[in-house]
């Protein structure tokens, strides 16, 4: 499967100690967006628990106006509160959805934990309806575990 081919590439990116963490996160986003056909936008948001907001730190895909998201708002904001994966097969069916692009049909958000605390998340937008499987969730959980090691 494609995900198994991406794992060593991702580990190589994260092993580079010469680059900033933000640059490494951008490279991870670019790797995923370029190699998974239905990952049309990939980004990492990080939590500011004092302000109860998420802040976009790295992404690949079209630029977004949604660089700061309040906890509880949209799919990302809901994951900041629930600490659980959120798979949205059809964004039009979601009441609490923040539209980043009219082409987005589905979204998957997986929380990123460090020392047991939800410090952020990886957010995937897809222009394909209902593309995400449990395999995507397990892979992105693994990605977040690897990313947490460098944070």
Q: What is the CATH number of domain 2-148?
A: 3.30.450.40
Section 96-100 average pLDDT: 68
Contact criterion met (CB below 8 Å) for 39 and 126: yes
Neighbouring C-beta atoms of residue 6, cutoff 10 Å: 18
C-beta of residue 104 within 8 angstroms of C-beta of residue 127: yes
What pLDDT is recorded for position 100?
A: 67
| Residues 76, 82, 85, 90, CA torsion sign | negative
Largest CA distance in the chain: 44
Extents of the domains making up the chain: 2-148
Q: Is the pLDDT of residue 99 over 90?
A: no
Q: What is the pLDDT of residues 43-90, one digit of tens each?
A: 999 999 999 999 999 999 999 999 999 999 999 999 999 999 999 999
**Segment 106-115, tens digit of pLDDT:** 999 999 999 9
Q: Are 61 and 124 in contact (CB under 8 A)?
A: no
| pLDDT greater than 60 at residue 1 | no
């Amino acid at each position: 499967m494609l995900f198994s081919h991406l794992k060593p590439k991702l580990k190589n990116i994260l092993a580079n100690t010469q680059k900033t963490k933000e640059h490494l996160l951008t490279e991870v986003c670019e790797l995923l967006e370029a190699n998974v056909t239905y990952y049309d936008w990939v980004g990492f948001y990080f939590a500011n628990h004092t302000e109860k907001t998420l802040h976009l730190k790295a992404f690949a895909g079209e630029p977004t106006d949604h660089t700061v998201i309040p906890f509880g708002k949209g799919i990302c904001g809901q994951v900041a509160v629930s600490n659980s994966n959120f798979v949205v097969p059809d964004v039009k069916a979601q009441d609490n959805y923040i539209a980043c692009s009219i082409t987005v049909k589905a979204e998957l958000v997986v929380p990123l934990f460090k020392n047991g605390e939800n410090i952020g998340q990886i957010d995937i937008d897809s222009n394909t309806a209902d593309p995400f499987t449990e395999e995507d969730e397990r892979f992105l959980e693994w990605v977040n575990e690897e990313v947490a090691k460098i944070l």
